[in-house]
Amino acid sequence: MPPNPLPVLGRVMGIVPLGIGVTVLGFLWGMPFGEFGSPPLFFRLFGSFIALAFVLTGLGIVFGSAAIAQSHAPPRYPEPQFDISPPDDRPPGTRFVCPKCGAPLAEKVDVSPHGDAKCGYCNSWFNIHGK
């Protein structure tokens, strides 16, 4: 399964509004007061509120994309392991054999919850419980 590109893409897309907001804030408050061409205080405050919206949007995209990607990730369940130990009526150490060809069942073979197993030699299916 390929890695999820959403967190990386979200961080890259969040840089755009974050950069715009920081640039506007730097421009508005970095210029000296009272010089020719410097913005008046009203425009500095008004522009700062607009730039703050851009900064918060960018931060929300950058930090929220990883949380969203993690919440949409498929759950990881452990691989089921089935124990094919013989039923209680058989003596210990008895191995299962294929009823069709007589080949012994492999040591760590996958068995369904109902006891169905596949012979590794003749590829036939049988039930280890004898049903």
- Read off the pTM: 0.47
Q: Enter the tokens of residue 31.
A: 């210029």
CA pair distance 23, 21, nearest whole angstrom:
5
User: Six-digit token pair at 10?
Assistant: 């979200």
Q: Which CA distances in Å does 95 have to 36, 84, 120?
A: 95, 10, 14
Q: What is the mean pLDDT of the chain?
A: 78
H or E element: which one contains 125?
A: strand 125-127
- Position 57 scores a pLDDT of 92
* pLDDT for res 5: 65
pLDDT tens per residue, range 4-41: 666 677 778 888 999 999 999 999 999 888 888 888 99
- Coil, strand, or helix at residue 87? coil
